[in-house]
Structure 1
C-alpha cells in the first residue's frame, strides 16, 4: 500500500528489510491446547527504552507497544536492563493526531523508600522480576526481601488506562514506606534530521499531573493543539513538585503490618479536546473506585475474543498455532483507533508502529473487518462506516463527478481541499472493490439485517462508480485509474501547475499511472511498469474518461484481471444481499451481469499455453487487445479462482502454477511476482515479497476448486516459515519468499487478519470467504 503523498515513491523502490525480533522457527511455544487469557503471555516483545527518536529504519518504531479499546496512546514494558525505568510502564507512546511519538521514557514510575532504614528499594535487584504482556493487560511483579510490588495496566476507555498498584509486606516485621511517583516529559521530537519542539510541559493540580502542549501543525511529522492533554490522576492524595520537565508526586507514608497489602490506583488519559478531557475526568472516580470490576470486565472481554476464536472442534489438532492467532488479535486491537478528528467511527489502522500508517485505508480496513467480525463484530461494522462516512455524493463540493466512490485513505486531518491541514488524506484514487465482501462476512457472523439495509445502497453506488468512471470503452470491464486531482498535473520548479498553449493544465501521465497502481493496492507491481515488457507491448498509457465532454477521471490502458474478478465477486455478494433483503429483481440482474464478466475473463484474460490469467492491454476504442503474458505472472492471476469466475479446467491449470516450486511455491509461498518473472525481486514491496492478503486469496482459491490438501500444505508453510511469527516476533507487512524474513513495517493489520482467517478457515476446516451466489462453471 502507498505511504503518505510526501513519501510516495521512496519506500516503494527501496525494498528495505526489517528483521523481526524473534527467530526463525518451525515450532511454537505451545504443544498443548490452551484456552484461557492468562495462558498466553509475552507473545510479542514489548521491552523498550523509549527516546525522543521514536522510529528508525523504514520509519518504523524501534519498539512494539500495547494499546486497546481504540485509545490513541499505548505503553511498553521497560527494558529489564535499564534500572531507571523499572517500577512503571515505559512510555507512553502517543499519536500526535497522525504520527506516533514517545512522550516520555517513563512518565509515571513508582519509587519506594523504607522510612526506617532510609533505603530506596532497587527493583533491579529483585529476587524475581516478571514483566508480562497478557492479552489486554500488562503486568509487573517485583519480589524483594521484605515486600512484593505488583503493577497492572488495562485500558478502561478509548482515552484512559487504569493502573493498579499493590504493595505487600512479605517480611517478618511491619514496615513504613514512602511512595513517590516520578516522571519526565520529552519536549521535542527527533524525526530524522528534524527536531520539532512540541512545547510539552508539566502542570499539577490536586491529585493530577498534566502534560500540556502548544499548538504545533507540522504537516509531515507532528500535530498538537493547546487543548491536547495527557493527564495522570491519582486516587489517593499526593503532593506534587515540578522541576522543569520533571515531577515528583509523593503520597502519605504507608505503614504495612506483616502480610498486609496497600493498594492504590492511577489513571492516565490522552485527550485531544476539552470535551474529551471533561468526559474522562467525570469518570476518574468510577475508574479507581471500581477498579476490580473494570479488571474483571476487561478479562471477560478478552476471554470472549478467545472463546469465539477457539470454538472449533479441531482446535486440539493444532495447538502450536494458537500463540500466533492470539498475537493476531493483539495486533489488530493495538491498531484499533476510536473516533477522533475526521474519524467519525472507530476503525483499524494498518500499524501503530509506522509513521505513515495512522490512517484508515479502504481495502486495509475491509480485510481487517473480515477477521474482526468473528470476535468483535461491532468494531467491524464501525470500521466499514468509517470509510463510507466519506463516500462521495452527487452534491460533493470537490468531486461530484465521482459520486459513489470510496476514497483511498482518511486521516485525523482532512486535506487542504477539504478545509483541513493534513497531507496524508488521499482522494487521488480508490481501492479494489472488496467492501461488499467484508459487509457480507459481517452479516454472516451477526445476521444483522439492519446493518445490511444500511450498507447495501452504499455498496451499490460504489459498485456502479467503477463502471461509470473506470470503464473507458464501456464494455462492462473496468480498469484501474485515478480521479481528477491537482496531483495529476505537471508542475514547475516552484510547484505551480504547468499550462499548455491553450491555458489547460498539462497532464502528468506518470502521476496518473502511480495513482492507478495505488488504486490496485499493488503500488510498484511489475505489471504497472510504464515501459512495459517484451515484443508488441506499448507500455502503460493513460486514457481520459469523459461524460458529456467533461473529464471525470482517468483509466490506464489495461483491463486488470484482479479488478474484474473482484467486481465479479462483488456482484455475487450484492446478489446475495439483494436476495436477503427481498430485492429479487436486483439479485437476478447481478447474476445476468456476472455472466458477461465471466465469459470475458475466461475467454480473453486466460492464456492456454502458460495456464494462467493476466491483465489485458486495450486500445483507446477497445477494439485492439493484447494479453500481457510478457509482463510475467503475479498474484492477480489466481483472483479468478478466488472469485469463482474461472472454469474448472482453468482452475486446475492455475493450481499447477501455484504449486510449482519455481514459480509460487517458494519457501514462504505466494510471492507477488512469480519466482520466474524476469523482474522478480524478493525484497521490493509488490515485486516479489509475500503479502498475506494475496496468500489468503491464494489458499481460498485452492479451497474453492477442491484442492484442500494443497491449500492446507501452503497454509502450514505460511505459518511455519514466517520469521518470528510462531515465537515473539512481530507480524510483518510482507515477507521475503526465499527466506521468510519480515520486510517493511511491523505489527501490520491485514497480515494479522489474514493469519487469523487462514487458521480458522484453512487449518481448522476447508472453508472460504468467497462469494457463493454463482457456481463455478
Structure 2
C-alpha cells in the first residue's frame, strides 16, 4: 500500500475512534493523527501461536503489562485479537488464542451480522482493526489502561437505525481449558501451580446485564439487552482483560474505560513529542523518526511492572527470548540512559529495581527476577550506574534523585576495589563470588570474548575472586564513574567529596594510560597481573578509554586510526567486538567474538566525538543506522549484528540495542558527556 494512502486510512480510523467519546477525545487525538500515521506498522504484529511457547512473531505489550497481544494473521477474517501471551507464567506462554471476537446479530431476525475486514494495523500504543457490514462500520482498538488492564475499545457506527444483539467470544489454549470458570458476569482463567488470574469482562453500559457461556476452551459473554443504534452516531463498548500475577496479594485499581483511552493517547503523545525533540539533524527525518520511535516502542514493549520480588518497574532484555524474563544490571544502566529522554520515571525505577537488591558490601547482583530465588549473585556487571544516573539528571534536573542514589552508587563503586582489586594497585579486575571463570566472564558482559581465553582465577577473600588480568574497559568505566560521582557530589553540595573523587580519577587515569596503552600497537589492552604484559586482542574494549576520556590526544589519535581501519573495525556495519583480521573473528555465531553489539558501537561513536572526530562519528552513525538490515523498515532490533552484511542475529526486540540507537540518534549526542571533560 502506498504510504500516503495508508496514512489517510489511519487518520480516518483515528477520527472514528475519537468520535465515540465526545469532544474531549476528539481534541486529545486530533493532534496525534498525523504523528500516528507516520509511525504506522513500524513492526509487523500479525500472528497466531502454533504452540503455547511460540515466540516466532511480534507481540504488543505496554504500560508495564505482563500480558501481551498480537493482530491475527492478515488473511484471518474474524474480529478480535490474538492472545494473551502471559510473560509472568513460568518462562512465558500463550494462554489464549483469541479475545474480544465480536458477536453481532440483528435483534429482530436473530441472524448473524457478517463483518468484512478492512484494515488491521499496529499504531504507537495500540492495535487497531476495522470492519464493515451493510449499513454498519466497526472498529476495535486494543490498548493498556495500566499494567493490569488491557482494554479493547469497540465502536459501532450505523448509517441507519437498527437494533443489534452484541456479545464477545474468546478461546483459550485447549490445554488450559480446565482453568476456565464463570464468576458473576465475568470469565476467569486460572493456571496450574500459579496464583495468577486472568479476568475478562464486557462493559456495554452501567445498566447492562450479561450472560456467560462456557464450552470447553471457548467462552462467550453476551449483553442480555439489544443495543439501539441511531443513524450516523457511534456507540462505544469495552472489553477488559485483567491479569493479576498474585491474586492473594494484588488488588488492581478500578479503571474508567473512556478516560483510560484519553490517558493512553496523551501518554503516547508525550513519548513521541520527547523523541522528536531529540532527533539528529544530519540524517533524514523520516529515517531518524521511524528508527527512534521503533526503539522507544521496543523499550516500552519490554517494560514490566513491579510484581512478585521485583519491587520497581523495569525493562527486560527481550520478551522474544525465554531466558530474559528479569532485569539485568548492565542492561538496566543502558535502558535508563535512553529512557531518560522520554520516560524518565521508568528510567528512575529501572535504576531502583536493581539497587533494591544491593548487598551490604555494596555489590549489585547480575540479574533479578520475579522469584528472587533465581537472582544471580555469582557476579555483578560493568559499573555504568553513575553514568545512567547522571543521564537521568541531565534529562530531568532531578536533584532529589541524585540524592537518593548517591550513597548507593558510592557503595557500589567502592565494592569494585574492595572485592576485585587483587594486588591493591588501584586497578580492578572482573571476577566472581564463586571462583568460576564462567561467572567472571559474565561479569564483564562479554561472556566469551577472546581476551578471556587464557584467564585464571585468583582468590581475594571470602566470596571474592578476580581473573588474573586488569580489564581496560572495566577500569575506564571506573575512571568515568569517579568523574561522574564528582559531578553528583558537586550538585549535592559535597565539595570535599567532589575534590576526593577528582583526585582519585586523576591517579587512575595515569595508571590506565601507563599500564594499558601499547605505543607500538597504538591501542589499549587488558594487562596481566603482576607483570608488564598486555593481552594483545583488538576488541571493542580498546576504545572504552576514549569514551571515558582517559586517553591523551596522541593515544586517542592512535586508537582512532585502528577504529577507522576497514581491515579491523570500520566494517560495513562498523565497530565489531573483535577486529575483522583476528583469526578468531566469527561475525555470525561468535557472540562476543566479532558481531556488532550496539552498546559498544555507540561507545565507539562517542569515543570519536569526545576527541573531536565529529565527521567520522557522523559517518559511522550513518552506517549503523542505514546498514543494519531492515532497521529502517519492519525488522526488529536484534541482540547483535553481522558487521559484514548488517544482518541481525540472536534475540529479537533487544532492549539495549534499541536504547543504543536512541542514544546515537539524539540531537545532543556530541555533548552527551556533559561536564566530564578530558583532563
Provide the TM-score with structure 2 as the length reference: 0.91
* Mean CA deviation greater in 263-272 or 308-317: 308-317
Q: Which residue is 1:52 aligned to?
A: 51
* Mapping of residues 6-21 of structure 1, within 5 Å: none
Shift of 1:164: 1.1
| Cα drift, residue 122 of structure 1 | 4.3
Other-structure match for 1:707: 613
Shift of 1:176: 3.6
CA distance in 1, matches of 2:523, 2:244: 52
Which whole-Å deviations, capped at 9, do the CAs of 1:546-567 have from their partners, x for residues lacking one? 2xxxx33110111000000000
User: For 1:431, which of 375, 381, 385 is the aligned residue?
Assistant: 381
Query: Where do residues 105-504 of structure 1 align in structure 2 (5 Å cutoff)?
Result: 105-115=97-107, 119-123=111-115, 125-126=116-117, 129-170=118-159, 173-186=160-173, 188=175, 201-215=179-193, 225=194, 227-236=195-204, 237-251=209-223, 252-274=225-247, 278-280=251-253, 283=254, 286-288=255-257, 291=258, 293-312=259-278, 318-319=284-285, 320-393=287-360, 403-415=361-373, 422=374, 425-484=375-434
- Once the two structures are TM-superposed, the CA of residue 238 in structure 1 deviates from its matched residue by 2.2
Instruction: Report the secondary structure of 2:549's partner residue.
Output: coil
Match of 2:81 among 89, 96, 99: 89
Q: Displacement of 1:460 after TM fit? A: 0.5
Structure 1 residues 568 and 733, CA gap change in structure 2 (3 angstroms): same
Give how far 1:77 is off.
Answer: 0.7
State which of 438, 457, 474 in structure 2 corresponds to 1:542. 457
**Deviation by residue 1:171-202 (Cα, 9 ceiling, x = unmatched):** xx5444332321121154xxxxxxxxx67521
C-alpha deviation, 1:703, in angstroms = 0.4
1:590 is matched with which residue?
501
Separation (CA, whole Å) in 1 of partners of 2:90 and 2:394: 34
User: What does the per-residue CA deviation read over 1:672-720, in whole Å, with 9 as the maximum and x for residues that have no partner?
Assistant: 1110111100012111111110011000000000001000110011011
Measured after TM superposition, the shift of residue 38 of structure 1 is 4.2
Q: Unaligned stretches of 5+ in structure 1?
A: 1-32, 56-60, 189-197, 216-224, 394-402, 416-421, 489-511, 530-538
1:635-654 CA distance string (max 9 Å, x none) = 00000000000111111111
- The answer to which structure, 1 or 2, has the higher relative contact order (CA under 8 A, 6+ apart) is 1
- Quote how far apart the aligned CAs of 1:610 are: 2.1
User: How many residue pairs are counted as aligned between the two chains?
Assistant: 641
Q: Say which SS state the counterpart of residue 230 (structure 1) adopts.
A: strand
**2: CA distance between counterparts of 1:72 and 1:317?**
35
Distance 2:528 2:575 in 1: 24
Partner secondary structure for residue 332 of structure 1: helix
Question: Structure 2 vs 1, CA of residues 348 and 428 (structure 1 numbering), >3 Å: closer, same or farther?
Answer: same
Choose from 73, 95, 117 the match for 1:79: 73
Find the counterpart in structure 2 of residue 68 from structure 1.
62
Q: Matches of 1:608 and 1:721 in 2, distance apart?
A: 33
Report the 3-state secondary structure (helix = DSSP H, G, I; strand = E; otherwise coil) of the residue aligned with 1:107. strand
Aligned residue for 2:365, secondary structure, equals coil
Report if the CA contact (8 A) 1:368-1:749 is conserved: yes
Mapped partners of 2:251, 2:372: distance in 1: 25
Q: Are the structure 2 counterparts of residues 187 and 276 from structure 1 closer, same or farther at C-alpha, using a change threshold of 3 Å?
A: farther
More displaced 10-residue stretch of structure 1: 249-258 or 69-78: 249-258
The 3 A distance-change label for structure 1 pair 200 and 359 is farther
Q: Which runs of 5+ in 2 are unaligned?
A: 1-31
Corresponding position: 1:611 with 2:526: no
Change (3 A) 1:667 1:590: same
Per the alignment, in what secondary structure is the counterpart of residue 179 of structure 1? strand
Moved more, 101-110 or 310-319: 310-319
How far is 1:113 from its partner?
Answer: 3.1
Task: For residue 277 of structure 1, report the CA deviation from its aligned partner.
Answer: 5.4
Q: CA distance change for structure 1 residues 387 and 254 in 2, over 3 Å: closer, same or farther?
A: same
Tell me the CA shift for residue 353 of structure 1: 1.7
Distance 1:555 1:410 in 2: 23
Aligned to 1:495: none
Aligned pairs for 1:642-653 within 5 A: 642-653=547-558
**Selected match of 1:758 from 650, 655, 664:** 664
Mapped contact 2:421–2:466 kept (Cα < 8 A) = yes
1:153 deviates by 1.7
Q: 1:97·1:412 contact (CA, 8 Å) conserved in 2?
A: no
8 Å Cα contact 1:34/1:322 also seen in 2? no
Name the residue aligned to 1:776.
Answer: 678
Distance verdict in 2 for CA 1:313–1:235, change over 3 Å: closer
Tell me how far apart the structure 1 counterparts of residues 216 and 279 of structure 2 sit (CA, whole Å). 59
Residue 276 to residue 43, structure 1, CA distance change in 2 (3 Å):
farther
* 1:676 equivalenced with 2:626 (yes/no): no
RMSD: 2.0
CA 121–315 in structure 1, closer or farther in 2 if over 3 Å, else same: farther
Residue 42 of structure 1 corresponds to 41
CA offsets per residue over residues 256-299 of structure 1, 9 Å max, x none? 3432433211211110223565334xx1xx423xx1x2222211
Question: Distance in 2 between the 1:645 and 1:378 partners?
Answer: 32
Task: Give the match's secondary structure for 1:343.
Answer: coil
CA contact (8 A) 2:137 2:157 kept: yes
Partner Cα separation in structure 1 for residue 230 and residue 342 of structure 2:
45
Query: CA separation in 2, counterparts of 1:314 and 1:361?
Result: 29
Shift of 1:315: 5.2
Cα distance in 1, alignment partners of residues 376 and 248 from structure 2:
28
Native 8 Å contact 1:98 1:359 kept in 2: no
CA distance in 2, matches of 1:703, 1:640: 13
Q: Distance in 2 between matches of 1:180 and 1:586?
A: 66
Using the alignment, how far apart are the partners of 2:278 and 2:341 within structure 1? Answer: 12
In 2, Cα distance between equivalents of 1:757 and 1:678: 32
Q: State how far apart, in whole Å, the 2-side matches of 1:184 and 1:601 are.
A: 61
How many angstroms does 1:313 deviate by? 8.1
Q: CA deviation at 1:240?
A: 1.2
| 2-structure distance, mates of 1:317, 1:686 | 29
Match of 1:625 in 2: 532
The 3-state SS of whatever aligns with 1:132 is strand
Q: Are 2:52 and 2:95, in contact at CA under 8 Å, matched by a contact in 1? A: no
Return closer, same or farther for 1:34/1:587 CA change in 2, 3 Å cut-off.
farther
State the shift of 1:588 in Å: 1.3
Q: Does the CA-based 8 Å contact 2:155-2:235 persist in structure 1?
A: yes
Match of 2:21 in 1: none
